[in-house]
Every structure is written in structure tokens, then in C-alpha cells.
Amino acid sequence: MTTLSIDALPFAFTFEPAKTALVIIDMQRDFVEAGGFGASLGNDVTRLTAIIPAVAELLAVCRKAGIIVIHTREGHKPDLSDCPPAKRLRGAPSLRIGDPGPMGRVLITGEPGNDIVPQLAPKPGELVIDKPGKGAFYATPLEQVLRARGITHLVFAGVTTEVCVQTTMREANDRGYDCLLIEEATESYFPEFKSATLEMLRAQGAIVGWTTHLADFERAFTQP
């Protein structure tokens, strides 16, 4: 049994790689490319596109270490039966969920925009969880999958920090998982929301979880 310790905030994050999963949240074209759902809400997607190399590096480290990799995708069925009208009708986006856009129907499973970006494409054997909500535990088999594999610790990356990443970390925390978020591998359309989220997650003695830097995470695997 190997136990590793990572320099993290608010204190060291200790975990067994064999009982740990990497969860990459919603690194989909719909959020990180122009013409998708994120852009339709009025956001500048360039901040999110910029983290793809860091997420790819984290993914490579975890794959090499044999850590289970789980990818999530936010999206809805083509008939929108799993999309609450409150979600589709809220606000005044340039395109609503299900409308045809430059990358196919917005936020619909199976459409080009719903794909994970090619740089982070899942490998055979990696789990892909399609989710209708912001949290990856809501209306998905994620908890069952983690329990079946004996996972106790989760490493998080993806977008957006304060929406789907934070929601999923809170859901995971309430289910008893120790959660670590990699700072360079997550991003928000709003820099101030990212920094506030990092602070609130780790405040009060890791009330929701831990944060660390990609370099510190990598060091744990290279140190003798």
C-alpha cells in the first residue's frame, strides 16, 4: 500500500493512489470554445481554453500513476426530457439549450459541441459520466461507480470552478470523499470567482476540500 502526501492548502493532502480517482469536469467544446453554451451565456471562453495544456499534463501524470480517470460532460437528451424548463428558459442567452448552433444543438448529448476537447479525449477504459446538472452526482451513477471501485479520495480539474467543479466537490464531500482541486487545471469565466472558490473550499480546516498546484501534485509522484 503506497501512501503519498502532497503539499496543499490548508494542510497536506494524504492519499493512496489505488483508492483515488481523477475527475475531470466538463472540459467540453460547449464550455471552452466559441459558439457553445458558455459563449451563448455571454462569456469570453479564452480563459477556459487556456487551461487545456495544464489539464492534459495532470491527466498524463494520473494515467502514468494508474489512477482511475473519470470524465464528465454536462448535457441533455435530444428530446430535452432531462432539462428542466427553468434551466432552458432562464435569462436571455443568444442560444438556448437545444437550439442549433455552430457546433450542433447546444448542450445536447452526442452533438459536436458536447464532446470533450480532443486534447483531453477519454481513452478506452476511462469512465465518461453524462450529467444533466451542475453536480456530477445528481442523476448519474457516479457514486455507485466510485463505491464499486473502493475510491476514497478524488482529485478534481475542469470547468467552471465555481459552478460544476464546486458543486461536484460539495456533493462528494457530503458523501465522505476527500477532495483535492488542482489550481492550474480549473478555471472560471470570472477570475474573482475562481479565487473566491479556492479560498472558500479550503477555509475552516478544509471544510469542503484541499487545493494545490500542479507542480506540487506532480512532485508527489516523482519524489523517492
Task: Return the residue of 13, 15, 31, 210 that touches ligand TIU, per CB under 6 A.
Answer: 31
Residue 130 is a binding residue for ligand TIU (CB under 6 A): no
- Only segment of 46-54, 61-69, 85-93, 158-166 that touches ligand TIU (CB under 6 A): 158-166
Q: Which three cell numbers mark 184?
A: 492550474
Residues 45 and 92 sit within 8 Å (Cβ to Cβ): no
179 is an active site residue: no
- Only segment of 10-18, 94-102, 137-145, 159-167 that touches ligand TIU (CB under 6 A): 159-167
Task: Return the residue of 40, 160, 168, 197 that touches ligand TIU, per CB under 6 A.
Answer: 160
Q: How far is the CB of 134 from ligand TIU (least distance, A)?
A: 6
Q: What is the largest CA-CA distance in the chain?
A: 54
Q: How far is the CB of 136 from ligand TIU (least distance, A)?
A: 9
Which residue's CB is nearer to ligand TIU, number 33 or number 74?
74
Which residue's CB is nearer to ligand TIU, number 163 or number 206?
163
Residue 48 phi, psi dihedral angles, 5° rounding: -80, -40
62 is an active site residue: no
Which residue's CB is nearer to ligand TIU, number 6 or number 171?
171
Catalytic residue from among 115, 131, 134, 179: 131
Positive or negative CA dihedral for 134, 138, 139, 141? positive
Residue 45 is a binding residue for ligand TIU (CB under 6 A): no
Tell how many helices (H) and how many strands (E) occur in the chain: 9, 10
Task: Return the residue of 12, 18, 41, 65 that touches ligand TIU, per CB under 6 A.
Answer: 41
Q: Which three cell numbers mark 48?
A: 477556459
Element (H, E) at 168: helix 166-174
164 is an active site residue: yes
From 68, 162, 173, 73, select the one nearest 116 (Cα to Cα).
73
Amino acid, res. 191:
P
Catalytic residue from among 26, 30, 115, 130: 26
Helix-strand-coil split of the chain, %, nearest 5: 40, 25, 40
Residues 109 and 75 sit within 8 Å (Cβ to Cβ): yes
**Binding interface with ligand TIU (CB under 6 A):** 26, 31, 38, 41, 74, 134, 159-160, 163-164, 189
Catalytic residues: 26, 131, 164
